[in-house]
Amino acid sequence: MRILEEAGIKEGFNVLDYGCGSGSYIVPLVELVGKSGKVYALDIQPLSIQKVREIVAKKGISNVQTILSDCRTGLPPYIMDVVLLYDILHDLNNASDVLKELHHVLKPRGILSLSDHHLKDEEIISRVTGEGWFKLSAKGKRTISFLKER
């Protein structure tokens, strides 16, 4: 998947798919992180989490952890190399809380990879950088990458 190429995911990375939906990125993410990496799939919808669990069971994947939540990940600080926030920023009622949580779980040079076809790039950049948690890193064809600040 080309969108994932822009995130810079490498073997051994820990990646959080925040708002994973039905899990369309799970298998490609597992392939990118390899056996030494781990994929975390978070969603607010129990049916989405169930779908991810079904994919993982069917494919015999052992390095995926699901998280049912509307904001908090329950993960320790500084554990994620990359967080994917694809097509949900426009839908978040608590965007500030979510961005703070993502800042908390990202490693010091961690990447927030964002895409939202419901918003203009300028609006995405303004929302994500507005509170000082992240700074703009790069604009790709499909995503905007941010680096953790502070």
Question: Is position 136 within any domain?
Answer: no
**pLDDT of amino acid 134:** 97
pTM: 0.96
Question: Is position 21 within any domain?
Answer: yes
Q: Is the pLDDT of residue 1 over 90?
A: no
Concatenated DSSP letters for 87-141?
Answer: S-GGG-TTHHHHHHHHHHHEEEEEEEEEE-TTS-HHHHHHHHHTTSSEEEEEE-S
Per-residue pLDDT reduced to its tens digit, 93-149: 889 999 999 999 999 999 999 999 999 999 999 999 999 999 999 999 999 999 998
Question: Is position 144 within any domain?
Answer: no
The b-or-e profile of 68-85 (16+ CB within 10 A means b, else e) is eeebebebeeebbbbbbb
**pLDDT of amino acid 149:** 86
**pLDDT of amino acid 93:** 87
Question: Is position 78 within any domain?
Answer: yes
Whole domain around residue 48: which residue ranges?
A: 2-85+95-115
**pLDDT of amino acid 95:** 93
Query: How many independent structural domains does the chain possess?
Result: 1
**pLDDT of amino acid 2:** 83
Question: Is position 106 within any domain?
Answer: yes
CATH number reported for the structural domain that contains residue 80 in this entry: 3.40.50.150
Question: Is position 8 within any domain?
Answer: yes
Residue 1, SS3 per DSSP: coil
